[in-house]
Amino acid sequence: MELLTDRRDLPSNASHKLLQVLEAALLQERFTDIVDHTGLAKSTVHRLVATLVEEGFLSGDAEHGYRAGPRFMSLAGRVLTETDITQVAQPVVDRLVAEVDCTVHVGVRAGDEMVYVIRTDSSKPYRMRSRIGLAIPMHSTGMGKAVMATWTDEEVADYAERTGLPSRTATTVRDVDSLRRVLDVVRARGFALDLGENEDGTVCVAAAIHDSTGRATHGLSISSIALEHPGLSIEALAPQAAAAAADISRLLGHRRR
């Protein structure tokens, strides 16, 4: 049978159960865990897993565990190669701008820099100096620090050695030990701040965006001016930034473990 296009041979509700089992098998390798995850009878799970293996959506067996099969990987690869993060993220960004009425950016890591790929402005009369395509050092930006917080200490040290941690303003982090301490705080809190470290008078709160492999490849920031958000007040928007970044990550195929 054609698994996804011909459902004439499937009993009522079977397609829903089939998708339940497929999802569970991609998250849980062991057969018993798949059964527990779905709440279905063992015999039902066994039959549906066998179908998915036969059709190439799963590989493996009950003894050695299950994983994504070649047919699933082929489809997933095609979707991922055609995914444009600007199309995926823009609706989330638009909702966030309407909610917080601040400028929202999405940037992608490109080497040792973050490059803006989305900028959506608020209704405020002022405008950020940022622009699509602008590249900025990772260590001086909220987005960059959010991404770097997923790195190992060795990766952070290598970055510091390569770049020399150039200063953008008087408050930019200048040495690797200070950078490590900042990143420890980012890891603990789940968001990063930029309090005039990249541009005097500009502040932001940011969170990392993860792709389907779990890597932090992009970042999202809510930006404002220090006159409107003095001191640490931009931090109040951290939950919204983190939630929006998580929404985009989910749309890119990321699943939290």
Q: What angle do CA 186, 190, 192 make, to 5 degrees?
A: 45
Q: What is the pLDDT of residues 88-99, one digit of tens each?
A: 999 999 999 999
Across the range 28-56, mean pLDDT stands at: 88
The pLDDT, as a whole number, for residue 187 is 97
pTM > 0.75: no
Position 9 confidence tier, pLDDT thresholds 50, 70, 90: very low
Q: What is the pLDDT of residues 50-66, one digit of tens each?
A: 999 888 888 888 877 88
The pLDDT, as a whole number, for residue 57 is 87
By DSSP bridging, strand 65-68 and strand 202-210 are unpaired
CATH of the domain at 247: 3.30.450.40
Same domain, 90 and 182: yes
In the chain the beta strands, taken as DSSP E runs, fall at: 58-61, 65-68, 103-110, 113-120, 135-137, 192-195, 202-210, 216-225
Same domain, 211 and 236: yes
Residue 34 included in any domain: yes
Residue 5 included in any domain: no
Q: Is the pLDDT of residue 76 over 70?
A: no
The pLDDT, as a whole number, for residue 83 is 56
Across the range 61-78, mean pLDDT stands at: 75
Across the range 106-127, mean pLDDT stands at: 91
Same domain, 112 and 130: yes
Across the range 38-45, mean pLDDT stands at: 90
Q: Is the pLDDT of residue 69 over 60?
A: yes
Per the structure, how many domains does the chain have?
A: 2
Length of the chain: 257
Alpha-carbon distance values, 53 to 48, 61, 70, 213, 223 (Å):
9, 8, 10, 23, 48
Domain that holds residue 202: 83-251
Which of these three, 51, 80, 109, is where a domain ends?
80
Residue 7 included in any domain: no
Q: Is the pLDDT of residue 141 over 90?
A: yes
Position 1 confidence tier, pLDDT thresholds 50, 70, 90: very low
In the chain, % of residues over pLDDT 70: 90
Residue 4 included in any domain: no
Q: Which residues pair with 216 in a beta bridge?
A: 210
Q: What is the mean pLDDT of the chain?
A: 88
Residue 6 included in any domain: no
Same domain, 57 and 123: no
Residue 169 included in any domain: yes
Same domain, 222 and 175: yes
The pLDDT, as a whole number, for residue 122 is 92
Contacts of 125 (CB under 8 A, 6+ apart): none
Q: Note the maximum CA span of the chain.
A: 69
Which of these three, 29, 49, 80, is where a domain ends?
80
Residue 51: DSSP 8-state: H
Q: What is the pLDDT of residues 231-249, one digit of tens each?
A: 999 999 999 999 999 999 9
Across the range 158-175, mean pLDDT stands at: 94
Position 152 confidence tier, pLDDT thresholds 50, 70, 90: very high
Write a three-state SS string for 122-178.
Answer: CCCCCCCCCCCCCEEEHHHCHHHHHHHCCCCHHHHHHHHHHHCCCCCCCCCCCCHHH
User: What is the identity of the amino acid at 125?
Assistant: P
Across the range 191-212, mean pLDDT stands at: 95
Which of these three, 80, 113, 133, is where a domain ends?
80
The pLDDT, as a whole number, for residue 78 is 58
